[in-house]
């Protein structure tokens, strides 16, 4: 347990306002996670994790994400006539779904990544700092004191944990729905090679991790925007709005010269992992770009947050 100094007048009536005694600092015990080294950071990270996942909004977002694969599976089942239906001429993922329910996972991730996943991540990342500033809890976190750099790092890590949870919510829901609606067995990859069900499930985990990491650049951007305002709603709206704008820019052929540098451009390269052998070039390019965004906007968020007047 550590201590911070507070005016005596603020502590249980010691001294009276205007008296000499009221100006004397009095040690106040703090039960916050003010511990040294890794243990202190882990305690702070766990606190942020609990705060993130106990919110009804977070659970509702995860529920919506889990419903997306079910909706896709039902629509494909109806449109193709289920096991014996067609599916000719559709996208590669959709053509495979009716043959093997495992492919519903990859279809759901491909459908969620451009819109649903980044929007939910934008809400969580955008609200991480601004939301607590709006409710007034941010100043108490820092008075604890948790340390601004450590607190910002814990918020980033908690937001990344949400990215992983959101991606797994889509993947697990798709696996369950796919196994109910369609046959499940050996998986024929996009390259035409066939792998066993166990290997396919390992690729589901691998691709889920890659998709979660693909959202790290957006998390850093949302965290930076969150340090610029004291309104959680404004930060969330700005982050989600930025995702929409970048997606629109990424759709114009006239902007092909700048599109490779947009954080959304390489998101769907995870499809290269559905080949035998797996193609990693596009995936590494995507993850490298995300790391660059994390470095730039993470540094900007740190510079802003560490110099921010939280009493304002």
The tens digit of pLDDT for each residue in 91-138 reads 556 667 888 889 999 999 999 998 899 999 999 988 877 766 555 555
- 15 shares its domain with 96: no
Assess if residue 312 is contained within a domain.
no
Assess if residue 194 is contained within a domain.
yes
- 114 shares its domain with 18: no
- 24 shares its domain with 68: no
- 43 shares its domain with 64: yes
Query: Long-range CB contacts (< 8 A, 24+ apart) of 28-37?
Result: 28/3, 28/4, 29/1, 29/2, 29/3, 30/1, 30/2, 30/3, 30/4, 30/144, 30/145, 31/1, 32/2, 32/141, 32/144, 32/145, 32/146, 33/144, 33/146, 34/1, 34/2, 34/144, 34/145, 34/146
Residue 17, domain extent: 1-31
State residue 148's pLDDT score.
77
CA distances from 179 to 68, 171, 173, 175 (A): 15, 12, 10, 6
Largest Cα separation within the chain, whole Å, is: 87
- 6 shares its domain with 142: no
Assess if residue 211 is contained within a domain.
yes
d(CA 17, CA 6): 14
- 18 shares its domain with 75: no
Where are the alpha helices (H) located in the chain, listed in sequence order?
37-53, 56-80, 92-97, 103-112, 116-135, 137-143, 148-181, 197-214, 216-228, 232-249, 281-306
User: Chain centroid to CA 79: how far?
Assistant: 32
- 274 shares its domain with 188: yes
> What tens digit of pLDDT does each residue of 184-226 get?
888 888 888 889 999 999 999 999 999 999 999 999 999 999 8
Assess if residue 271 is contained within a domain.
yes
- 89 shares its domain with 5: no
CA distances from 164 to 77, 233, 248, 272 (A): 28, 23, 25, 20
For residue 232, count other CB atoms closer than 10 A to its CB: 20
- 165 shares its domain with 26: no
How many domains would you assign to the chain?
2
> What tens digit of pLDDT does each residue of 17-66 get?
444 333 343 333 444 444 556 776 787 788 888 888 988 989 999 999 99
């Amino acid at each position: 347990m550590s201590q911070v100094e507070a005016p005596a007048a603020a502590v249980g009536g010691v001294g009276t306002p205007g008296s000499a005694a009221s100006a004397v600092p009095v040690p106040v015990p703090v039960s916050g996670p003010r511990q040294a080294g890794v243990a202190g950071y882990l305690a702070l990270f766990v606190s942020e994790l609990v705060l993130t996942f106990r919110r009804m909004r977070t659970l509702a977002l995860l529920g919506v994400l889990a419903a997306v694969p079910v909706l896709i599976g039902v629509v494909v089942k109806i449109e193709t006539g289920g096991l014996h239906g067609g599916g000719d001429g559709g996208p590669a993922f959709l053509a495979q779904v009716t043959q093997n329910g495992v492919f519903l996972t990859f279809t759901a991730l491909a459908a969620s990544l451009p819109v649903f996943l980044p929007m939910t991540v934008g809400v969580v990342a955008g609200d991480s700092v601004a939301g607590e500033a709006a409710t007034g809890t941010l100043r108490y976190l820092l008075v604890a004191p948790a340390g601004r750099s450590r607190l910002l790092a814990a918020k980033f890590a908690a937001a990344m944990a949400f990215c992983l949870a959101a991606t797994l919510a889509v993947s697990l829901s798709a696996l369950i729905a796919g196994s109910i609606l369609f046959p499940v067995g050996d998986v024929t990859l996009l390259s035409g090679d066939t792998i066993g069900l166990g290997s396919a499930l390992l690729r589901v985990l691998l691709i889920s991790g890659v998709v979660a990491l693909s959202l790290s650049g957006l998390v850093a951007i949302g965290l930076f925007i969150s340090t610029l305002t004291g309104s959680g709603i404004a930060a969330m709206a700005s982050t989600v709005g930025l995702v929409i704008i970048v997606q629109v820019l990424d759709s114009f052929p006239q902007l092909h010269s700048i599109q490779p540098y947009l954080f959304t451009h390489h998101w769907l390269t995870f499809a290269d992992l559905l080949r035998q052998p797996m193609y990693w070039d596009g995936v590494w390019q995507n993850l490298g770009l995300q790391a660059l965004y994390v470095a730039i906007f993470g540094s900007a968020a740190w510079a802003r947050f560490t110099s921010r007047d939280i009493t304002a």
